[in-house]
Structure 1
Amino acid sequence: MSVDLDAMNLSELRDLRNKVERAINSYEDRRRKEALAAVEVAAREHGFNLAELTGIKISKSRVAAKYVNPADQNQTWSGRGRKPRWVQEHLDSGKSVEDLAI
């Protein structure tokens, strides 16, 4: 796939960058989940669970999302921790985080 970056305007370049970042994040998340699943299987095969081996309690519960990216409804944020890039870009454009509320 070849993309002529010189022919794109600033808006198109930013849109492309956002799509690439989402694709990278999605890929990394899938790989991380695959690795975690493989480690959990290996631990079970030896008669343990991951928490017993690491001493870390793994919680499956998630905090409910409070904000959603209007450009990509799959991207949400609970309001805790570091702000996602799409939230920061929204704030940098002079808009309010309340605009993103679910």
Structure 2
Amino acid sequence: MSAIELDTMSLDELKKLRKDVDAAIKSFEDRKKKAALAELEAKAAELGFNLSDLTGAAAKGRKVNPPKYRHPENPETTWSGRGRQPDWFKEALAAGTKPEDMLIVKA
């Protein structure tokens, strides 16, 4: 790599150089992160796991809220209590079931 004579460069040339260097650094960091992630995913797969299973991370960094309510007849069906009420929750309410009766952890 040749030496760069910074003292002889114009302000526009220096700014372009800085922009190019910043882009090169970001690209380098992105490549290193992808390589590290691929290596970790391969090791997890080798051991029979998914990387997100081992880290407890949700897909693409989305936070998953724990379930708050359980279906009265199907305990595998749950709802976090956030967002739109699922149909089974609305139907249970219409049938006279109280929300506190469907709570997973009762106070």
Q: TM-score range by the shorter chain?
A: 0.5 to 0.7
The whole-number CA distance in structure 1 between the counterparts of 2:31 and 2:51 is 19
1:3-50 deviation per Cα after TM superposition (whole angstroms, max 9, x unaligned): 100000111000000000000000000000000000000000000001
Task: Determine the structure 2 residue equivalent to 1:53.
Answer: 54
Max radius of gyration: which structure? Answer: 2
Instruction: Tell me the secondary structure at the aligned position of residue 28 of structure 1.
Output: helix
Q: Which has the higher strand share?
A: 1
* Identity, % of aligned positions: 49
1:45-102 deviation per Cα after TM superposition (whole angstroms, max 9, x unaligned): 000001110000233xxxxxxxxxxxxxxxxxxxxxxxxxxxxxxxxxxxxxxxxxxx
The whole-number CA distance in structure 1 between the counterparts of 2:5 and 2:14 is 10
Q: 2:6 matched to 1:5?
A: yes
How many equivalent residue pairs?
60
Q: Please, what TM-score do these two structures have when normalized by structure 2?
A: 0.54
Deviation above 2 Å: which 4+ runs of structure 1?
Answer: none
The unaligned stretches of length 5 or more in structure 2 are 61-107
Task: Determine the structure 2 residue equivalent to 1:22.
Answer: 23
The whole-number CA distance in structure 2 between the counterparts of 1:58 and 1:38 is 18
